[in-house]
Amino acid sequence: MGLRGLTGQGGTAAAAELRDTRGRPLRDLRISVTDRCNFRCPYCMPAEVFGEDYRFLPRKDILRFEEVLRVARLAVELGATKLRITGGEPLVRANLSDLVAGLAAIPGVADLALTTNGVLLPGQAAALAGAGLQRVTVSLDSLRPEVFQHTSGGRGEPEQVLAGIAAAEAAGLGPVKINCVVQRDVNQDDVVALARHFRGTGHILRFIEFMDVGTMNAWRLEQVVPAREIIERIDAEFPLEPVDPNYSGEVARRYRYRDGSGEIGVIASVTEPFCGGCTRARLSAEGELVTCLFAKGGRDLKTPLRAGVSDATLREMIAGTWTEREDRYSEERSEKAGPRKAGERIEMYRIGG
């Protein structure tokens, strides 16, 4: 397969021109390092599905760090500048700092971040920062223990997550981004309390519309709280004003408190899709290269990696997958609304959001 999406000439200058069928460059690689998690959030890994008997991937089927590093290095050569480690819960993967150190050493990585539920951060934040991690995003859906009990699948307390955020800040990984998935009749009323808690701290709270990822979360459009409503609720209490994006293609719409006490963001994936600026590829824990959060599957890179292919061949595989990319699922959602069957879509815990 040739590098059809490459225009321009030679080396990294050419690689930076890699484009998919809609003209979108490859800029971000999200790396899932495990399919396991210490939580059972009903919208991602419902406890009734992921119970005692659930068979997670055997260790041999999960990419080793050196395999991840090889794919990441080639993705960076092809234009990616931002790497994010995710999961499952990435902090349950042993020796994660070793991977961080390897990723941080790749020339051309401008941003190295991690998304976590935060519970294991107190024991790991310093080592991760020392290895070269730059930022963390911590998920927190409610400050109320009874609501958190539900949103974490009975596996955690908000205090543990707050301790994780504090540990990240103390390790120099702040300001922390805090992700809250808002669901109607679950945590819509927590939005203002979260805003109150984090304003003035320097941390950036981001509200995410509940998405129909995977096939197991019984998603219904009525459960989505539109970003506009989230902003109105907060603005009524703490007046807000819009802020320009940090860079073109930024998925979060930014707002700041008019009294100068910080900023928040909303990610309106459902009501205001942003596929046109989507520059993200995902590497699943088992080594599939996935070009959309809503894809059915991805391109298997583990088999060629383990068969000993050359860097040149692997680079062509990654580039070819990107140049063939047509995905714009969120823009098409309204035409495709309805429940999904198992296997019809890749699950969120496999590719990490």
252 contributes a contact to ligand SF4 by CB under 6 A:
no
181 contributes a contact to ligand SAM by CB under 6 A:
yes
List, in sequence order, every residue forming a beta bridge with 282; answer none if it has no partner: 30, 290
How many residues appear in the chain?
353
Tracing tokens 């979360």 back to the chain, one arrives at 217
Nearer to ligand SF4, 195 or 267 (CB): 267
Torsion of CA 166, 161, 214, 217, to 10 degrees: -150
| Per-position DSSP letters for 261-315, written without gaps between them | S-EEEEE-TTTS--GGG--EEEE-TTSEEES-TT-S--EE-HHHHHHT--HHHHH
Binding flags for ligand SAM, 119-158, as an x/- string (CB under 6 A) = --------------------x-------------------
With beta carbons less than 8 A apart as the criterion, state whether 30 and 293 touch.
Answer: no
Tokens of 78: 């092809």
Tell me the closest approach of the beta carbon of residue 324 to ligand SAM, in angstroms.
Answer: 26
- Helix, strand, coil shares, percent, the chain, to 5: 35, 15, 50
With beta carbons less than 8 A apart as the criterion, state whether 96 and 33 touch.
Answer: yes
With beta carbons less than 8 A apart as the criterion, state whether 299 and 287 touch.
Answer: no
CA–CA–CA angle 346, 350, 353 (5° rounding) = 85
117 contributes a contact to ligand SAM by CB under 6 A:
yes
Strand, coil or helix: 54: coil
Tell me the closest approach of the beta carbon of residue 306 to ligand SF4, in angstroms.
Answer: 26
Nearer to ligand SF4, 50 or 198 (CB): 50
Options 5, 25, 42, 87; binder of ligand SAM; rule CB under 6 A: 87
When CB distances to ligand SAM are compared, the closest residue is 353
With beta carbons less than 8 A apart as the criterion, state whether 265 and 258 touch.
Answer: no
Tracing tokens 């934040």 back to the chain, one arrives at 125
Size of interface with ligand SAM, in residues (CB under 6 A) = 21
Tell me the closest approach of the beta carbon of residue 352 to ligand SF4, in angstroms.
Answer: 7
Tell me the closest approach of the beta carbon of residue 39 to ligand SAM, in angstroms.
Answer: 7
- 351, amino acid identity: I
Residues 215 to 244 in contact with ligand SAM, rule: CB under 6 A: 217
Tell me the closest approach of the beta carbon of residue 44 to ligand SAM, in angstroms.
Answer: 4
Which of the ranges 47-55, 101-109, 316-324, 345-353 carries the binding residues for ligand SAM, by CB under 6 A? 345-353
- Helix (H) or strand (E) holding 144, with range, is none
Tokens of 46: 């419902």
Tell me the closest approach of the beta carbon of residue 206 to ligand SF4, in angstroms.
Answer: 14
Residues 44 to 73 in contact with ligand SAM, rule: CB under 6 A: 44
Which of the ranges 16-24, 115-123, 165-173, 229-237 carries the binding residues for ligand SAM, by CB under 6 A? 115-123
Options 210, 238, 255, 329; binder of ligand SAM; rule CB under 6 A: 210
198 contributes a contact to ligand SAM by CB under 6 A:
no
Which of the ranges 60-68, 121-129, 241-249, 327-335 carries the binding residues for ligand SF4, by CB under 6 A? 327-335
Q: How far apart are CA 144 and CA 158, in angstroms?
A: 7
Tokens of 140: 């927190």
Options 43, 148, 255, 329; binder of ligand SAM; rule CB under 6 A: 43
Nearest to 310, CA basis, from 99, 4, 70? 70
Tell me the closest approach of the beta carbon of residue 269 to ligand SF4, in angstroms.
Answer: 6
Residues binding ligand SF4 (CB under 6 A): 37, 39-41, 44-45, 87-89, 117, 139, 274-275, 278, 280, 292-294, 327-330, 349
Residues binding ligand SAM (CB under 6 A): 37, 43-44, 86-87, 89, 115-117, 139, 179, 181, 208, 210-211, 213, 217, 348-349, 352-353
